[in-house]
Structure 1
C-alpha cells in the first residue's frame, strides 16, 4: 500500500474508437482510486499519456459503486472525463474497454456484460477481430427524451439553434444545422438555455442530415471539449433525427465524425446498438501521481 504522497507504477493501455481516445487502467481488485488531479494529469497530452477519458477496469465485486451489479456483470467501467468528473456512460469507451478485456484474456470473445453508472450494457467482440480494424458492438438501450422542449444552444460565435434533449445513459443536446462549419469553434463550451436544463453538464451534438439514414456530426463533450468522435453522441443524434422525422421502423444509420464512421442500428422497439472500430494502440506502465490507495 502506498500513501497519497507517493507515486507508483501501474499498467495501462491506450486505445481509441474513431480517434476518441482513452487510457485503460486495469484495477481488478479495486485497490486504487483516481482523484481529479491524477486524471487531469494523465489525460493532458503535455504532462501525461493524453486522452479524452480514463477507463478504470475493476471487478464489480471489488467496487462498492458496482457491487449490486456483480451478479450480472464481472467488470465495471469506472469512466472519468478528461477534467476528472465521473461519467455515467461512454459508447466508444465501453467498446475500447471490451476490446481490452478480450485482448488481455480477461473476457472471451463473443457477448458479455459490462456494468456502468448507467446500468448494465452488453457488448459483442467478434471472435476473429483482434486486428487493428476489428469492430466492437454495444447495446445502448432505448433513448429517452426528458425535455424540456425549449432548449437553445448558442456557440461561442453567437449562433443559436433549438436543441433536443436526448438521454442515452448520459445527457445530450442535439442541434441540426445546414453545415458543420456553422458551429464554429467547439473547443469553447456552447451556452445552453434554460440554465437549469442540465445541472451536471451536457454533451452537445451539431448534426447535418446527409440522407434518411446518414448523418454527419461534430461534438463538444462535457468535461473534455471538442472530440473527434462520440459514441453516445452518434446514438443521440440518430434518436433526435428519428424523433423529428417521425421514423419508427427498424433502420440502420451511418454517422460520420471527424475521426471516422460509426454505425447505429435501431430496432422496431427503439433499442439501439452502436458498432465501430475499437483499437488498442499502446500498452505499458505509467507512474501515477497523487494516487490514493494503490497496488504495487
Structure 2
C-alpha cells in the first residue's frame, strides 16, 4: 500500500488512498504504522475514501496513533485538501468540499496560497461535547482533580475539547493534567485538553494533549476550540481573526457571520513510499 507522509504545523500524518474501496488498516495495524521507532511514525493516519455525497470530492477518516478513531482533525483536513489537489482530484484554486466524520468542510485558498477550512460552528451544550454533570453551557466548569478545583472551558468542534487558561504554557503540566482530565468521569468519551496563554486580543499560545496521541506539535480543532471558548469569555475579540501559536507553527482562526470557524495554516508533504 502506497503512503504519503504529511504534516500541518508539525502535526504529522500518514495518508492512505482508499478511494478504490479497500478496507482501512485494523487498529493494531494503525498503531504499528504510527510507531515512531518500528513504523513510519505519525500522530494520526488519514484514510481518503470516496465521497459520501455528490457535493464533495472525497471523504476521509482519522485514526489516532493508538489505533482509536477520531471525529475531527483540522490540520489533517488541510493535508487532505492539499493531497487531493496534488493528485488532481480537486481544483488547485477553486473552492471544493471534503467530508470528515464530523460533517462537510468547504475548502478555499487564501492570498498566501494556504488552504482555509470551514471547521463548522462550535457547540457549547454539555450534551454535545459530551460533558457529564452539567445541563447548561457555562464559560467555565468547576471540575475536581486531585483535590483541586479547575476552571475548565469545554466545547465540541466535532470532537470534545477542554481548555485551561494558564499564565505560561511553557510551565504547564500538559501531560499530567491532560491525561488526568482525559480519564475524568465528566468526559465519557475522553477529551482533547488545551492549555492557552492569551498574549493579546488577536494572539494566543497553545499546547494540546490529544486523545490517542498525547501532546502534538499542533492541533487544528484544538486551536478552533481555544478561540471559540476564549472569544465567548471576551478574552479574544479580533475582527480579523486570532493567530494561534503552537510548537510546530501558527494557525489563523476567524469566525464568520454564520458562526463557523475558518482555519488557515500550512500543509506540507514530507516523503512517500510503500508499506510492505
**Smaller-chain TM-score range?**
0.7 to 0.9
Question: Which protein, 1 or 2, shows the higher relative CO under an 8 Å CA cutoff with sep ≥ 6?
Answer: 1
1:139 and 2:118 correspond: yes
Seen in structure 2, the aligned counterparts of structure 1 residues 248 and 125 have a Cα distance that, compared at 3 Å, is: closer
* Alignment RMSD (CA, Å): 2.4
- Secondary structure of the residue aligned to 2:155 is strand
- Say which of 20, 31, 37 aligns to 2:22: 31
Provide the residue aligned with 1:3 in structure 2: none
2:261 to 268, 272, 282: 272
Q: Give how far 1:72 is off.
A: 2.3
- Kindly tell me: are residues 275 and 49 of structure 1, through their superposed partners in 2, closer, same or farther at Cα, counting changes over 3 Å? same
- Structure 2 vs 1, CA of residues 186 and 153 (structure 1 numbering), >3 Å: closer, same or farther? farther
Distance 1:189 1:96 in 2: 26
State the aligned residue count. 263
* Structure 1 counterpart SS, 2:76: helix
Q: What is the CA–CA distance in structure 2 between the aligned matches of 1:284 and 1:153, rounded to whole Å?
A: 47
Alpha-carbon distance in structure 2 between the residues aligned to 1:166 and 1:153: 18
- The yes-or-no answer on 1:115 pairing with 2:99 is yes
Structure 2 equivalent of residue 182 of structure 1: 171
Change (3 A) 1:193 1:202: closer
Partner of 1:98: 81
1:223 partnered with 2:212: yes
Choose 194-203 or 204-213, whichever is displaced more.
Answer: 194-203
Q: TM-score, normalised by structure 2?
A: 0.88
- The 3 A distance-change label for structure 1 pair 248 and 187 is closer
Q: Give the gaps of 5 or more residues in structure 1.
A: 1-9, 61-68, 288-296
Compare CA radii of gyration and give the structure with the larger one. 1
Q: Partner of 2:129 in structure 1?
A: none
The match for 1:81 among 64, 71, 74 is 64
Separation of aligned partners in 2, 1:95 and 1:227: 16
- TM-score, scaled to structure 1: 0.82
Q: Give structure 2 stretches of 5+ with no counterpart.
A: 127-133
